[in-house]
Structure 1
Amino acid sequence: MQLHLVITGRKDLAAQLYQQLREAIATGRLSAGAQLPPSRLLAEQLGVSRKTVSDTYATLTYEGLLVGKIGRGTFVNAWAPQPDRVQTAADLACAANLGKWAALPSPMRHPTDDSILRYEFIGGATTRNQFPQDEWRRCTQDALRRIAQNSGFYSQPEGLPALRSSIAGHIAFSRGVKCRDSDIVVTNGAQQALDLIARVVLEPGSIVAMEDPGYSPARQLFVAMGASVASVPVDEHGIQVENIPDGTRLIYVTPSHQFPLGMPMSLPRREALLARAIELGAIIIEDDYDSEFRYAGRPTDSLQSMDTRGVVTYVGTFSKTLLPELRLGYAVLPPAIYGAVLKAKQLTDQHCSTLPQWALAKFISEGYLLKHIRRCHSVYAGRRERILQRLAGDLSPWFEAVPTVAGFHMAALCKVPVDVALLIELARQVDVGLYPLDVFYHDAAVRPGLIIGFGAMETLDIDPALDKVRDILQQIG
């Protein structure tokens, strides 16, 4: 790769070269430790004499900006002078807007590799040890062969036809969703699906109704777009539909497994929600984030399968069934907003990477996904049962579980006053990651407790981790 330098004319060649190299180092374009081209190669590239380049390198070395290493070449000195002060956020005309973005919390941000604790009860993380590496590798190799044979053009913004067909078949089989391939847009995770829908439905000041407590990243996304988010309380039947305000344009719900408390929305409440959306002319986002994992009771249909008027957008993700790093999700869109969402997808990122799309299409069509879900279901069921036993046993003086029949997290509410923040802090000191419920409440009265994820927690680690939690609770009273 050539170093981008521009020499004009035939005068002051050394001065031009010196000034450009010095500026590149000062601004960080040539970072500390970067290797410069050999003097002969750079001289040929610029059409100047080798002596001109060698003299310039020597001058910059004398000034401490470059360092020569015998037998290796010339490098930018790691201790080169720092660039001049750059503008801070406060110096910019958009400072207030930047401040709003900076103030948004990140309650569900996963830890980095170097900060993961030995025992992590974080929600949304999956069981990596169960991931079918060999099957996925075969599917990825097939995807590479397909990409090598294609035209080299950009792909379709709605996603590869093979993947959309596989998704349509999968969610019809597993969730009763009524859709065709042409109703589906493949996205970079469920969060992008929410972003695209919000972009085309909302304007600054538009009202969004969502559950309280609820999924904080969705709330923050709507707020960032200038929407007014109306917090609607939930009870044991789900969102209290009668509290959805007039003028609402968008309603965000998690009917199969309410986030974060976990209870499913009852059939009468679903019917009332659909009727209210039709009355308002609103779009409902049904976030069906982890409903493949059900442990008790009869399966419930998706809200979308009950929709006869085209008001429900069904959003799903493969982050919960496979790996979060894959960043593949999808939206099943009603006809009224499909075209607008597709245009927004094209303008936002053109299309999702085709390599994982091809791999996932084969992974689903070959039956690997259903096998993987069945295998994980057995693992998660055992973990869930063990946590419930502990919450009903030696942890029962402090916590009680919210009844839930799906997913791979549960909520544990405090039965007595517990300093949850202190509990979390002390737990981290003994390598146990606990996470509070209160960050998911906005206007509703906070019910203190913990959100206990068991997707990434190995079964044999549950008892040692909860033993530590019990000991801390006994200490703090």
Structure 2
Amino acid sequence: MARTPRDVHLPISLPTPVRSRRLVDELLAAIVDGRLAEGDWLPSTRVLARQLSCSRSVVTGCYDELIAAGFLDGIPGAGTRVRAGARAAVRLGARSHVTEESAPVVVRGEGAVPRIIGDLRPGVPDGSLIDARRWRSCVRAATWTPEPSTAGTTALTAALGEHLRRHRGVHAEEILLTPGSSCGFALLGEAAWDSGIRRAFVEAPGYAEAQRELARVGFSVEPVEVDADGVCVGRLPDDRCLVYTTPAHQYPLGHRMSVDRRARLVEWARRTGSVIIEDDYDGEFRYDVPPLPALQALPGAREFVGYVGTASKTLTVGLAVAWTVPPGVLSDAVGRRYAERAWSVAEPVAGTLAEFISRGHLATHLAKVARTYRDRRNALSAAVIERCPEMPIIGVDAGLHATIVIDRVPGAQVRDRLERSGWLVRAVSDYPLADKQSVDGVVVSYARLTPASAVRFAEALRRAVPEVLSEGGGMIRT
């Protein structure tokens, strides 16, 4: 006798076209995060294929693979259900096929957490979005000569000058190449110290690397508060000092410095003779409207604002290429320090990036990835708004990360709970000087987040706060 079909809806979604192995990974994730419990029945292959708008053979292949591996039980005449012990196996890192991802097990407290589902810590773009064919062509063009040459760095300096002028409004008389943005912070900090400046202010919360570099120079680093318009200029002293800021997308909260606040900051620097370090780490990415020009592009700012940019967010961290445009008041001091440091960028890398920029590939790349990152941002925002409406999401107008504000429990406790569920994020309190800021929560990168993963993450976040509260967590706002 034919069995009565069960009315089962599986809480998953996948981008099209659906692949069998993507479906396998999604079902395993559903088992480990609790959407599927041991003993739960799965939809029939026909019903799930209709739900996902894919071929029935895709679902059949997925079920067969998971049954063969022991995650599911296929019961003739009854259907398919999650096998006892499946969740424990997935949490220990067992899989039905070899994946390209690593499977780290992180220990926190008494036990091992599950295999990492998603690393959403900010700082890493999606390098797979680079056009590999165009990049290889630029590599060939840059490395055809067997003779040692400095043509690569010369060409890159020229290409960057044109790119910064057209895309960031920066008219650079001098561009200094370094293997990382931290070198730029050190360079500007040392030059400011040489000029007699002894006080340094960093946004609170702020970028740890900038604080470390300035402290290493000798500054006693002090916090300056930020709000939705950026650095609170009224909190800065009326004497000469050094200020580090991220005006395009405050790190980590994500605020964009308003044009009024920008003008006030530059006017304050002019009046006090101070120097500003502008970290334009992801200033190329602003959604729905064009990016604001760099702070250094404001009239009169060129004398007081040192500009630091990097390829680590626009392309990939592996390039190890950054650049500094010194402020006019420190031009000579920066030049001396740069000569002492003898920092350099690998010639083949410099030549390749120069080709990539001069051929127009970087501009094309930025336009393409901005659309992709905007869609991923939208997916994260929609998922969080739908599943966690009590948690505002801020900093979504620009950049590659956002901050999810959490009031009921400390962000660090939610971060730990998410890690135990397989999701890696940062807490606002992980950043230096965060105790000076009233906002708490978690900082999440959407650069490599698929729409399906955004939903899974939001579900994990929705469960995390009550789980922390049930374990005795929580806090009182002061």
On whether the aligned pair clears a TM of 0.5, the verdict is: yes
Does residue 235 in structure 1 map to residue 234 in structure 2?
no
What amino acid is aligned across from residue 191 of structure 2 in structure 1?
V
In structure 2, runs of 5+ residues without a counterpart are: 1-101, 106-114, 470-478
Flag the 1:350–1:432 CA change in 2: closer, same or farther, 3 A: closer
Deviates more, 1:165-174 or 1:444-453: 444-453
Q: CA deviation at 1:403?
A: 4.6
Q: Which residue of 2 aligns with 1:184?
A: 175
Any idea what the Cα deviations from partners look like across 1:157-203, whole Å, max 9, x if unmatched?
xx8221111111111111111224xx111111211111111112126
Alignment of 1:47-446 (within 5 A): 114=104, 117-146=116-145, 148-150=146-148, 155=150, 160-180=153-173, 183-202=174-193, 206-297=198-289, 299-308=291-300, 310-397=303-390, 399-414=391-406, 416-442=407-433, 444-446=436-438
Q: Is the 8 A contact 1:209 1:248 kept in 2?
A: no
* Distance in 2 of aligned mates of 1:445 and 1:254: 16
* Distance in 1 of aligned mates of 2:197 and 2:157: 34
In structure 1, runs of 5+ residues without a counterpart are: 1-111
Q: CA deviation at 1:472?
A: 2.9
Q: CA deviation at 1:469?
A: 2.4
Q: Is the 8 A contact 2:411 2:428 kept in 1?
A: no
SS in 2 for 1:476: helix
Flag the 1:113–1:256 CA change in 2: closer, same or farther, 3 A: farther
Deviates more, 1:386-395 or 1:343-352: 343-352
How many pairs are equivalent? 357
Aligned-residue identity in percent:
27
SS in 1 for 2:286: coil
Q: CA deviation at 1:227?
A: 0.2
Q: CA deviation at 1:129?
A: 2.1
* Distance in 1 of aligned mates of 2:226 and 2:410: 24
Q: Is the 8 A contact 2:373 2:446 kept in 1?
A: yes
What amino acid is aligned across from residue 131 of structure 2 in structure 1?
P
What amino acid is aligned across from residue 322 of structure 1 in structure 2?
L
SS in 1 for 2:225: strand
Q: CA deviation at 1:401?
A: 1.0
SS in 2 for 1:361: helix
What amino acid is aligned across from residue 147 of structure 2 in structure 1?
Q
Any idea what the Cα deviations from partners look like across 1:47-102, whole Å, max 9, x if unmatched?
xxxxxxxxxxxxxxxxxxxxxxxxxxxxxxxxxxxxxxxxxxxxxxxxxxxxxxxx
Bigger Rg, structure 1 or 2: 1
Q: Which residue of 1 aligns with 2:68?
A: none
* Distance in 1 of aligned mates of 2:197 and 2:160: 35
Q: CA deviation at 1:350?
A: 4.4
Q: Is the 8 A contact 2:186 2:217 kept in 1?
A: no
SS in 2 for 1:299: coil
Structure 2 counterpart of 1:455, from 439, 447, 454: 447
* Distance in 1 of aligned mates of 2:281 and 2:443: 16
Q: CA deviation at 1:113?
A: 8.7
Flag the 1:122–1:255 CA change in 2: closer, same or farther, 3 A: same
What amino acid is aligned across from residue 200 of structure 1 in structure 2?
A
TM-score norm. by structure 2 comes to 0.70
Q: Is the 8 A contact 2:185 2:210 kept in 1?
A: yes
Please, what is the CA RMSD of the aligned residues?
2.4
Q: Which residue of 1 aligns with 2:60?
A: none
Q: CA deviation at 1:323?
A: 0.5
Q: Is the 8 A contact 1:252 1:287 kept in 2?
A: yes
What amino acid is aligned across from residue 288 of structure 2 in structure 1?
A
SS in 1 for 2:144: helix
SS in 2 for 1:211: strand
* Distance in 1 of aligned mates of 2:222 and 2:299: 23
TM-score norm. by structure 1 comes to 0.70
* Distance in 1 of aligned mates of 2:358 and 2:395: 34
Any idea what the Cα deviations from partners look like across 1:365-410, whole Å, max 9, x if unmatched?
111111211121111101111111122221123x111254110101
